[in-house]
Structure 1
């Protein structure tokens, strides 16, 4: 990696980690207050609508963010065409879903969903105004600025949501928080973005972007369906309440891996794109990113899994205990999820969105088959099968990485296996030690302290290069190589 690219990567990872860590901490704080004030049914009401707003948001964005990021040169006309296209699609989709809201309520046999849906769906329409500015921030690695905007939006929307819940607004408090977050985020993007739209309606630049973006659109649709399928199925086949338990468990897990995912995703594709013309350089960068991801992701997510019981009881009370098994199972997948993100970033940076698209579609179909086959055996079994399917699919992702940049499976396993083995051993030992402690507060303290200390000690003793380089960069002794 060249000096400037090393510095960009290191700075992007640092601010990606700080920004996403701060955002997840804020989400955690506001989430604790909301979970104490609201019921599982309140969360279920919002959760069953998520799949509709997520898919509409995907159509509105249409894959143009990554398409703009992946181009070698981007002009004002490119951003401007994307801006006006996104708004047009967003407005059209909102009108369609506004009309369809009563049918969605009938599907779940819950009339209250009609008005809630019409309000919550405003989020993706408002968000369509921020697609082009987001692409500008992402392409130019403005991670610090993007993080500051998101943090401000979380604070304002979170305080508002908690206040509404405290005054008895129920699920409307969650919906208002969602819409307000998107609104503030979009407004701040407009204020601080160096790029601004003009009143020109030249759509010709879209033709050059469509071959790339259309594949990402189809890919994102399958991704969002897969990510939200459980909430939709549980709300229909079981109860809104059970969908709420799943939503809460998934939310805590997502807060965990989103910090890592956001840190990696904020620099992955732009960095890979800069090195894409030098195969050996790209391979070295990819392997270093893989080692860093494993170094952070495995201990963080497996550690979150072993403290899930204490976290749930202490923070949001025993009424949410049914969501603990959900959280524990999803933490296993969350440990591997950032690795899948690296592979997808690699394919997009190589200009291979077709591989990303078909691989994601095939994975989505495979997941749906697994979910459908395991559905009669209950939620936990369904989640275990889902997690196993996603982990095994990493082998498919690797096949394409090997084909296009020549990286071997042996080298990849050599890069990640030490961190996985050490993390599993540390968490197993920690869990065993804490099992003799009855006090739940002391148990949480022992688990966190012991696991963190052991992992750091082993990384230092085994002279982990990633660990030492991370410390050195943080203390400004040298940058990541």
Structure 2
């Protein structure tokens, strides 16, 4: 009983700090994003957007899935962390050299010569990030969510200020590139500070061999996920214009900020907590279902709400030069509402050591979306987004199929956990959208939509005596 109470307290504390961290991060990201979007052009964002897939894949290669492997390891030792540190740094150095030499080829692919020096600077960030992988794994494994909050907020603040100063002084897209470098450097420094760990010069890579079976599958999976998440930017950069890439990058940035608020909060505790109770299946089912209800309770109203205010939000904050982004954002946020739920299902599989299933699901999804994108891009960006939304929502049932093989979780239980929040959020946001159709004042329309959805959502859940809602209110009261 004491162990269960301790796990509950750790989970609640982790969710609280994760929620606070991600809320403050998104608020800061919102403020910096608004200022930069006003200062920079659609082409500036397009230049960075075209390189995102390369730097992200490089980041995944140098991390190689070892953070998840270390978390799942029953008794991770200093020897394990030391091996991961030196392996990551070595791989990153080699990767940076290869990408440095490949910069002209990347520029030729996009027919944009300016990408040669820009890519060489941008790719430095993943090498710097490799220095912080081992200490980051220590903090993550030990649920140091408070420390991660400080790290995230500090790095976001310093890098955001740097980007604004550079943008004001006419550095254009260079400012965004340098912002990434500053962000990563601050994260690495603070990870070392809080982890209180130092590597040794004893080079023993035997732990890498032991973890490679698990981590290699995570690596392959993450590469395909990255390709999938950045597919639009690559296709738009190749077949459309820099402005089109910029429009999509802007829309996707706000969508990512929305669902990352929820996924970041859940990811901070999901895998470590679920991994700690894998031997007690019934208890794991109970914990997973509670996490599922909490995720649906937050995700659907937040993302559906962001979808219906996308036009007002974009025009008011970053002006109507980004109006095309608002239309894309409205659709992407519907997709974004399901990402935290899919993410929770995948966390359960990883916590049970099923990295092969995790890999299979993501590779299949990525290939399906790649085929869909290649077939549909001639019909326009909107058609591609519609198809992506449909595929990703339906993929929830694929995740469920594999989770059911691990734990006794019925489909009726899953629907019972998420359907009430989905139906309530969808009904309220649709109603608010149609009620405000005749209102031309953007500020008034934005205010009415937010008040209607938030007030009615809270009121209805209170009247229906929603356990999740009441527990959240009670926990916040205690914290205050």
TM range, smaller chain:
over 0.9
**Which residue in 1 is equivalent to 2:237?**
235
Equivalent of 1:464, from 460, 463, 466? Answer: 466
Q: How does 1:270-285 map to 2 (within 5 A)?
A: 270-285=272-287
Aligned to 1:333: 335
SS in 2 for 1:476: helix
Q: Which stretch shows the higher mean deviation, 424-433 or 46-55? A: 424-433
Structure 2 counterpart of 1:373: 375
Pick closer, same or farther for the CA change 1:376–1:155 going to 2, 3 Å.
Answer: same
In the alignment, what sits opposite 1:185?
Answer: 187
Residue aligned with 1:320, SS: helix
Partner residue of 2:392 out of 387, 390, 393: 390
Q: Secondary structure at the match of 2:106?
A: helix
Distance of 1:284 and 1:216 partners within structure 2: 26
SS in 1 for 2:230: helix
1:19 pairs, out of 14, 18, 21, with: 21
Partners of 1:198 and 1:149 lie apart in 2 by 24
Distance across 2 between alignment mates of 1:292 and 1:257: 14
CA offset at residue 336 of structure 1?
0.5
Which residue number corresponds to residue 345 of structure 1? 347
How many aligned positions are there?
478
1:29-81 deviation digits (Å, cap 9, x = unpaired) = 00101000001100000000000001111100000000000111100000000
Q: 1:173 aligns with which of 172, 175, 184?
A: 175
- The separation in 1 between residues aligned to 2:146 and 2:38, in whole angstroms, is 32
* Alpha-carbon distance in structure 2 between the residues aligned to 1:197 and 1:474: 40
Match of 2:49 among 47, 50, 60: 47
| Alignment deviations for residues 296-323 of structure 1 (CA, whole Å, 9 cap, x no partner) | 0000000000000000000000000010
Q: CA deviation at 1:414?
A: 0.7
Q: 1:84 maps to what in 2?
A: 86
Shift of 1:17: 0.4
The equivalences for 1:103-252 within 5 A come to 103-252=105-254
Q: 1:397 to 1:315 in 2, by over 3 A?
A: same
- TM-score, normalising length: structure 1: 0.98
- Which whole-Å CA distance do the structure 2 matches of 1:4 and 1:194 have between them? 25
CA RMSD after TM alignment: 1.1
Tell me how far 1:248 sits from its aligned partner: 0.2
- Give the distance between the partners of 1:195 and 1:71, measured in 2 at CA: 18
Match of 1:293 in 2: 295
In 2, the alpha carbon distance for the partners of 1:373 and 1:289 equals 37
Unmatched segments (≥5 aa) in structure 2: none
How far did residue 436 of structure 1 move?
Answer: 2.5
Unaligned runs of 5+ in 1: none
Deviation of residue 133 (structure 1)?
A: 0.8
Report the CA distance between 1:431 and its aligned residue.
Answer: 1.1
- 1:313-341 per-position Cα deviation (integer Å, ceiling 9, x unaligned): 00000000010121111101110100111
Structure 1's consecutive aligned runs of 4 or more residues displaced over 6 angstroms after TM superposition are none
Distance in 1 of aligned mates of 2:417 and 2:385: 28
Q: Distance in 1 between matches of 2:86 and 2:407?
A: 37
Cα distance in 2 between the residues matched to 1:3 and 1:378: 53
Structure 2 counterpart SS, 1:475: helix
Displacement of 1:477 in angstroms is 8.9
Counterpart residue number, 1:28: 30
Q: Matches of 1:477 and 1:173 in 2, distance apart?
A: 39
Deviation, structure 1 residue 195: 2.0
User: How far off is 1:245 after superposition?
Assistant: 0.3
1:367-424 residue CA offsets vs partner (Å, 9 max, x unmatched): 1112122211100110110111011011110001111101011110011000000001
Secondary structure of 1:192's aligned partner: helix
Q: Which residue does the alignment assign to 1:418?
A: 420
